[in-house]
């Protein structure tokens, strides 16, 4: 599978959001990762449809929308309408994950299912044939700048083994505490979609993207 870099704008400077998105685009990020938080599923509140709509015209990179919200099926169409290309929701946030996946697919978009660090990886097994991606959170969702929880990579290894055994075309995304100095370990565990926020937007953005791209292509 292709290794993919997804730049999380949660760590961007919002006074310069447009120009920073243009910079990560030009430097070679594959996806733009957009974290949506409702203050209920996670303690933080981030941003919603107006921000996604406002930046859609800046780049044609894939919009990788991560919904950290309760009952996500309510807002699938809204995020599709403002430009989401791939929508990932949390298994823990709904009583009917299959219905959410179907709703995403109804609009022709890619569906991902995510789990928190404390959720067993087995929780996503029933949906592997239905989704395009599984997101293994490697920190507690809701805040940027946390350190990666090493034990979460065991879930990535288990998931990669099962996906390969079943010969499924499913990406494994890792989000949380991802930096240049630990991305090799994450890739070796079996992830192929790498989300980084602070690791990209802190310091020289273009240089950080180039370093990540080099690691992903090794």
SS3 content of the chain, % helix, strand, coil (to 5): 45, 20, 35
- Tell me the torsion sign for CA atoms 164, 166, 167, 173: negative
| Residues 92/114, Cβ–Cβ less than 8 Å | no
The per-residue pLDDT for 1 is: 83
What pTM did the predictor assign?
0.96
The per-residue pLDDT for range 158-177, each reduced to its tens digit, is 999 999 999 999 999 999 99
Nearest by Cα to 203 from 176, 173, 179: 179
Q: Are 3 and 217 in contact (CB under 8 A)?
A: yes
What's the number of CA atoms in the CB half-sphere (13 Å) around residue 117?
A: 16
Query: Residue 55, CB half-sphere, CA atoms under 13 Å: how many?
Result: 26
Cα end-to-end distance, the chain, whole Å: 13
Active site residue 154: no
DSSP label at residue 38: B
- Cβ contact 59:25 at 8 Å: yes
Q: Which of 35, 38, 85, 171 is labelled catalytic?
A: 35
The radius of gyration of the chain from alpha carbons, rounded to an integer in Å, stands at 16
Q: Catalytic site residue 175?
A: yes
Q: Determine the pLDDT at residue 214.
A: 97
Torsion angles phi and psi, residue 171, rounded to 5: -75, 150
* pLDDT, position 144: 64
**Sequence-separated (6 or more) residues with CB below 8 Å from residue 108:** none
**Spans of the chain below 50 pLDDT:** none
Active-site residue, from 60, 78, 175, 181: 175
């Amino acid at each position: 599978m292709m290794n993919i870099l997804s730049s999380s704008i949660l760590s961007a400077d919002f006074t310069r959001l447009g120009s920073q998105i243009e910079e990560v685009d030009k430097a070679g990020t594959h996806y733009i990762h957009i974290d949506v938080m409702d203050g209920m599923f996670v303690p933080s509140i981030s941003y919603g449809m107006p921000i996604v709509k406002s930046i859609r015209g800046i780049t044609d990179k894939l919009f990788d929308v991560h919904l950290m919200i309760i009952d996500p099926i309510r807002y699938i169409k809204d995020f599709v309408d403002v430009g989401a290309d791939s929508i990932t929701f949390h298994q823990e946030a709904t009583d009917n994950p299959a219905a959410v996946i179907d709703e995403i697919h109804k609009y022709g978009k890619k569906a991902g299912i995510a789990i928190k660090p404390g959720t067993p990886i087995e929780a996503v097994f029933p949906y592997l044939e239905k989704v395009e991606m599984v997101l293994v959170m490697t920190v507690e969702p809701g805040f940027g700048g946390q350190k990666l929880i090493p034990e979460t990579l065991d879930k990535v290894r288990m998931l990669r083994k099962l996906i390969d055994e079943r010969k499924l075309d499913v990406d494994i995304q890792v989000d949380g505490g991802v930096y240049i100095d630990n991305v090799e370990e994450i890739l070796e565990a079996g992830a192929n979609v790498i989300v980084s926020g602070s690791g990209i937007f802190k310091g020289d953005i273009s240089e950080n993207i180039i370093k990540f791209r080099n690691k992903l292509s090794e």
